[in-house]
Structure 1
Amino acid sequence: MNSRQQQLDAFNRLLDIMDELREKCPWDKKQTLQTLRHLTIEETYELGDAILDNNLEEIKKELGDLLLHIVFYAKIGSETSHFDMADVANDICDKLIHRHPHIYGDVVVADEEEVKQNWEKLKLKEGKESVLEGVPKSLPALVKASRIQDKVKGVGFDWEEPHQVWDKVQEELHELQAEVADKNQDKIEAEFGDVLFSMINYARFLNVNPEDALERTNKKFIKRFQYLEKKASELGKPLSEMTLAEMDVFWEEAKRIP
């Protein structure tokens, strides 16, 4: 591993390169905070994919891409004298020190849960009117539901036992089935949302990240379906002309492949 000085030298090299690109490269010169935004979101998802695949080499590359974006934003901020890389780093350092009084102060905590509860209380003292202010509006709904539940848990609004959450899941499923029977599409959608929300809550009690769990299933389905397509191609028969029974044979084969 590199020494601390080597790490600082590498970061300084990146800052120098960013300065040069911003001055000389036609594409880099044109970028703004707004034009970079969607690219940053894309890079974040690519990092997420690499983490799910546990591809350490790819994680390293994607972290570099994300770090470049952070440096890029700081460079743009410095050009309007609003903030630079030092301001960004110092702000997060100050926040970390303030929100870890059990490390940098005299607060005593028993476990991780108390740390999280203190974190949310400190944010409210900083002027936030709601613990949910920190949940980005543009988050995908599944991730947002998970973050909402995690946030309210930090101030004690939570179930006590997993079986209580499972009972809630069952209750929501019954309510969904009742609306399905009544064929009220608006209420069906509302109850379906309640089912998903309660399942995401249950995942938390099982120490399962619902986003990661669903993405693993997505990847598994894609792998199996592509095996099915491959076998159909080998037979020279389009999937649309195969019966479900024929497709199921290959699907079962795919399930046996690690």
Structure 2
Amino acid sequence: MQRIRVVGLGPGPLDQVTMAAWRALTQASILALRTDRHPCIEELRAHLPAEVALYTCDDLYEAHARFEEVYAAIVERLIALAQRHGEIVYAVPGHPCVGERTTALLQQRSVEVGVEVEIVAGLSFIEPVCAAVGVDPMDGAQVIDAMLVARQHHPMVDVNLPLVLAQVYARWLASDVKLTLLNAYPEEHPVTVVQAAGSAHQRLISLPLAELDHGEHFDHLTSVYVPPLPPHSSFTALQELVAHLRAPEGCPWDREQTLASLRSDLLDECAELLEAIDAEAFVDDNSPAICEELGDVLLSATMMTQIATEEGRFRMADVVRGVVTKLIRRHPHVFGDVAVSGVDHVLANWDAIKAQEKTEKGMQSDPLDGVAPALPALEKARKLQSKAAKAGLLDRTALAQANPSLVALLGDAPDERRVGQILWELTALANLHGVNAENALRSYVVMMRKRLQDSQMQANASDSGA
């Protein structure tokens, strides 16, 4: 029988090796080490029988540029040793199934070549790191490879739970991790660099997140602990609160709400957000108000999704997955191999992809679609004109110059203030004659959309006849 026994060495000194691992190590005739750089190796060598054949894979790290290539080469070396000798012991740092990529690759490859793989457990780095910073993993601790976080633009973690970043082996990696974390945590948030956890050389360095990469205290035994943000700081906390409000023991008002009843609330919250943003024309920084209003908009969306969840329609995961998938699909110049020449090219691709999506769903593509009926009248008019112009149904330049008196009133280079003044005065004039300007423009937009659609149908009919 050809067999590879994968043995965990634990995170530190030899006394952290389990009895099962010790027996496997000391009884091995062929022992392969993933790396010689481990705190217990020197002491282990002294206890090994003289006849044991000892191999290391450190040379493969020098021979290959990428980690995946190194891991693949290690697996092939192990397979070859097992095929030659029948049974070997492969020793890895920590636990064989925690942060050890070669174990998973070896298990996959062993099925293909008919080699048995046995796992001999060991203490992982997680326990001593959590003990060093005083965190119980059962309280919801998140443990993630630092390389995964370094590749992200926003950390895919719950900021209300403890976070341990493993294998922060270099300063450049700490720098990349810091930049990602700063998208979710404040610069002054305290973090702890944990070196050689559980060993006699254990060292803790506490510093602000912004200074994480200041220094050279990083190696293969380094982790970083990021404590949670204050309570109620995560999106999952908002979801839990909203679900609680909707529960039988929750709030009577919240429990009575429906998707239809929350329509006006959502519109009101969006309007208040826009007002807070507009207020920055008069104050230097209206961030607190904008932050609060954004929270209200997010609450409305979360409440509506919770209602849909209770009704069995969809869940938040469906909402998020849908929009993320759509954004990736509509940005082939970012997530694919499409080249663009500028913003206009991006928008043209966007429209083409949307049209293709409708075709795939069996829907007829209408260039005037996407103008929501509930939009304020001015925004409806702007979007309809923009879409009609893109479709060749409207010449906005000709339309803008159709009323010479209005052109003269605006002047050669009207700014927002001038346009706003004229709209204000038109609203006052409409009020004087008992006309609601918002309703008047909304009705006119509806009429113009019908005219534009009729023009499009006639053009399509002419093209078909030709």
TM range (shorter): 0.5 to 0.7
CA distance in 2, matches of 1:93, 1:209: 35
1:131 touches 1:152 (CA, 8 Å); kept in 2? yes
CA distance in 1, matches of 2:421, 2:237: 36
Q: Which amino acid aligns with 2:266?
A: T
Which of these residues, 250, 258, 265, is aligned with residue 32 of structure 1?
258
The answer on 1:134 being equivalent to 2:364 is: no
Hey, what does 2:355 align to over in structure 1? 124
Q: Residue 144 of structure 1 corresponds to which residue in structure 2?
A: 380
* Greater Cα offset, 117-126 or 2-11: 2-11
Partner of 2:328: 97
Cα shift readout 1:78-121 (whole Å, capped 9, x = no counterpart): 01111111111111001101111111111111111111111111
**Residue identity in the other structure for 1:101:** P
Task: State the partner residue of 1:224.
Answer: none
Question: Which residue of the other structure, out of 20, 23, 33, is the alignment partner of 2:244?
Answer: 20
Runs of at least 5 residues in structure 2 that lack an aligned partner in the other structure? 1-181, 187-227, 281-285, 359-363, 425-466
Q: Distance in 2 between matches of 1:216 and 1:53?
A: 20
Higher helix share: 1
| Aligned-partner SS, 2:235 | helix
Runs of 4+ in 1 over 6 A off after TM superposition: 206-210
1:43 to 269, 274, 277: 269
Change (3 A) 1:113 1:120: same
Q: CA deviation at 1:168?
A: 4.3
Q: Distance between the aligned counterparts of 1:215 and 1:34, measured in 2? A: 36
Partner of 1:243: none
- Tell me the CA shift for residue 44 of structure 1: 0.6
- Taking only the aligned residue pairs, the percentage that are identical comes to 34
Deviations 1:40-96 (A, max 9, x none): 101111111111112221110000000001100110010111111111111100110
Alpha carbons 1:116, 1:154 under 8 Å: kept:
no
Please point out which of 403, 406, 430 is paired with 1:172: 403
SS in 1 for 2:403: helix
State the partner residue of 2:302: 71
Q: Deviations over 1:138-159 (max 9, x none)?
A: 2222111111233345557776
Change (3 A) 1:111 1:28: same
CA–CA separation in structure 2 for the residues paired with 1:215 and 1:96: 38
SS at match of 2:355: helix
Superposed CA offset, 1:172-225 (max 9, x none): 346xxxxxxxxxxxxxxxxxxxx7xx9xxx9xxx89779x9639975xxxxxxx
Provide the C-alpha distance between the structure 2 equivalents of 1:102 and 1:119, rounded to a whole number of angstroms.
10
Q: What secondary structure does 1:136 align onto?
A: coil
TM-score if structure 2 supplies the norm length? 0.36
Distance (whole Å) between structure 1 residues aligned to residue 367 and residue 416 of structure 2: 21
SS in 2 for 1:171: coil
How far did 1:11 drift? 0.7
2:317 match: secondary structure: helix
Query: Judging changes above 3 Å, is the alpha-carbon distance between structure 1 residues 60 and 9 closer, same or farther for their aligned structure 2 residues?
Result: closer
TM alignment of 1:186-201, pairs within 5 A: none
Is the contact between residue 77 and residue 84 of structure 1 (CA under 8 Å) also seen in structure 2? yes
Q: Secondary structure at the match of 1:33?
A: coil
**8 A Cα contact 1:120 1:154, kept in partner:** no
Match of 1:214 in 2: 420
